[in-house]
Structure 1
Amino acid sequence: MNKQQYNKDNPTLVDSIVCAIDILGFSQMIVQSCQEGYGDKLLREVNYLINKNKQCIIPNKYSQGKIKIFTDNMVVAYPIKGDGEAELDEILENVAEYQFNLSLEGLFVRGGISVGDFYINEDIVFGPALLDAHYTESQIACYPRILLDKKTVERLRGYIGNTDTIAQKNKILIDTDGQWFINYLNTIFKYYKDCTNEYEFERIKLALLERHKCKIEEMLLTYKENIRVWDKYVWTANYHNCFCDLYFPKEKSLKISRKLLLSWPRQISTQDI
C-alpha cells in the first residue's frame, strides 16, 4: 500500500500538509443576500469564483493533493513524500495564489496550516492535522491571514536553514503577535513571470496592487459602523501598506490612507441632534 497518497479503497492516515480556509463574513453575506432577494445571484457568483480559482491549488492531474469545499470552508491537503519540503513549498505558493485571487474579488479569507496524520476522500476528511489546522484558523488567525501552526513553522525553519533561499523567505511574513502567515501579495511577482517586457511587468504589478487597495478601502467604508469586522480590514490594510513599503517604497499612492485606519471620537454636532 502506498502511504504517499489517499487510498479510496482502503482509508489510511497519511502524513500530510493540511490547510483549512474560511471566507471572512460569508455567513452574513448569505443571510443578507437571501433577505434582500439576491441569494441566487450570490450563489452563482461565489460558485464561479471558487471553482475558477481553486484550479491554482491543485494545478494538474498528476498532483496527489486533494480539495474539499463545503459552503465557505475549504480543506486542502498534500500527502508528504520524503522530508515534506516540496509539499510545504507547493501548498504555500498555491494557497497564496488562491487567497490573492479571491481578495481581488472582495473575498478575504483566513486559515491555518498544520502537518500530521490526515485522510480525505469524496465523503470524509479526518485526522489530527485537520483539527490542528482548523483550530489555528478559527481560534488564532482572527484576521484575514493564513497562519502556520507551531509544527509547520518548525519544519519551515529547518528548510530555510538548509537552503537559505530568498524565494522561500518571501512567501512568509511574521506578524506583531509572532505568528507566521502567508505573504499572499507576493503572488504578484509570480503572476506574469513569463512577461518579457519589464515595463509591462511593472505596470501589471502596480495595477494589481491598486486593485487590492481599492477592495480593502471598499470594505473599510462598508463596515465602518461594525467595529469588530472593520478591525479585520484595518489589519488587511496595514498588511497591504507593509508590503508596499517593502517592495514599492516610492509608490506612495499605492498605500491606503491612515485616515481610513483611525477611529477617532468626535464632539456632538448639529447633525446629531
Structure 2
Amino acid sequence: MNYQNRICCFIDILGFKTHLNETIDSHGNDVVEKINSINSILELSKSITSNHGISESRVVTYFSDSIVISYEFNEESQLFLSLLNLLYVSMELANKGYLTRGGVSIGKLIHNENVIFGPALVKAYNLESKISKYPRIIIDKEVIDEGIKYHSQNHTINEEEEYIMDIVTLDDDENYYIDYIQKSSSEFDDIEYDLYRFINNLKSNFFSNYESEPTDVKEKLDWLKQKINNLISHIKINIQNPNYAPDIIQLYSTLEYIE
C-alpha cells in the first residue's frame, strides 16, 4: 500500500453538539422536528458531496458531523468542480441554520472505502481546527497553484484561475476561503429574489439570539456579520443603478445591516 498525491477536503458542521442537545427536551423526550432537521442536513450533505464533479478517483468518508473528500490532484478541472460543490454545501447548510468550517490541503494520502490516513488529512484537519477559526472553508494556496495546472481543455490556465477566484476570496488574514456569502449568487435559481431571502435567512438563523451566545460563538458570528454587512453595503450601492427594476430597488432598499 502506497501513498497517493491527493487533494483532501475536511469539513465540519459547527456547533453540532449544541444541535444534538436540542434533539431532547428538558423532560428527556425526543424533539422529532429537530431530529428530522439534523437528519435532513446530513442527507443533504451526502447528496451534494456524492455528486462531486466528474472525478474518477473521488472518495468520500462521512463520520458524525464531519466529511472528508479526496481525489487525485491531477484530474482535469476537478479543483474548480470540487470548490463549486463545497460552495453549494456551505451555502445550503447556512441557509438552513448550520454553519460549516473546513480545510482543503494537498499531499500524501491513503483514502479508500476502509481507511483514511496520511499527511494531507492531518494538514486539512489542522487547517479546519486551528487556522480557519471562523465559519469558512479555507484552501491552502498550494492547492490552488497545483489545481489550476490541470485545467479544462476548453480554457487556459488563466481562465481556470479566474473561475476558481469566482468562488474563493482572500480574507483579511491572507487565507483563501470559499466565499458562500459574496459569491453565492451563481447557485441561486432566481438571483434577484433568492439572494434577498438568503440574506434574511442568515440574519434570522444566526443573529436572533446573538446577545445570549458565549464569547467564542460571538467571535465566529462577528466574522459572519462583517461578511453579510459587506454584501448588504455592496447591494445598496448597486441598486442605485437606474437599470434595476423598481420592485427590486424597493425590495433591497429594505435590507438592514446587522447591528
* TM class by smaller structure: 0.7 to 0.9
Is the 8 Å Cα contact of residues 22 and 34 (structure 2) preserved in structure 1? no
Q: Distance in 2 between matches of 1:206 and 1:231?
A: 30
Quickly say closer, same or farther: Cα 1:38–1:87, change in 2 above 3 A: same
Q: TM-score, normalised by structure 2?
A: 0.78
RMSD between superposed Cα atoms in Å? 2.9
Give the percent of matched residue pairs that are identical in Structure 1 and Structure 2. 24
Is the 8 Å Cα contact of residues 220 and 230 (structure 1) preserved in structure 2? no
Aligned length: 236
Is the 8 Å Cα contact of residues 68 and 74 (structure 1) preserved in structure 2? yes
Residue 236 of structure 1 corresponds to: 224
Residue 146 of structure 1 corresponds to: 137
Runs of 4+ in structure 1 deviating by more than 6 angstroms, as ranges, are 157-161
Q: Distance in 1 between matches of 2:124 and 2:55?
A: 21
**Structure 2 residue 8 is the aligned partner of structure 1 residue 15:** no
Q: Distance in 2 between matches of 1:61 and 1:103?
A: 22
Q: TM-score, normalised by structure 1?
A: 0.75
Quickly say closer, same or farther: Cα 1:155–1:44, change in 2 above 3 A: same
Residue 113 of structure 1 aligns to a residue in which SS? strand
Question: Amino acid of the residue matched to residue 236 of structure 1?
Answer: L
Q: Distance in 2 between matches of 1:174 and 1:22?
A: 21
Q: Distance in 2 between matches of 1:256 and 1:237?
A: 12
Residue 90 of structure 1 corresponds to: 81
Structure 1 position 58, deviation (Å): 3.0
Alignment gaps of 5+ in structure 1: 1-10, 193-203, 261-273
Of 85, 90, 97, which residue of structure 2 is paired with 1:99?
A: 90
Quickly say closer, same or farther: Cα 1:53–1:71, change in 2 above 3 A: closer
**Structure 2 residue 29 is the aligned partner of structure 1 residue 26:** no
Structure 1 position 98, deviation (Å): 1.0
Question: Amino acid of the residue matched to residue 175 of structure 1?
Answer: D
Q: Distance in 1 between matches of 2:192 and 2:53?
A: 33
Residue 179 of structure 1 corresponds to: 175
Residue 249 of structure 1 aligns to a residue in which SS? helix
**Structure 2 residue 211 is the aligned partner of structure 1 residue 224:** yes
Of 98, 104, 113, which residue of structure 1 is paired with 2:104?
A: 113
Is the 8 Å Cα contact of residues 18 and 133 (structure 1) preserved in structure 2? yes
**Which stretch shifts more, 161-170 or 220-229?**
161-170
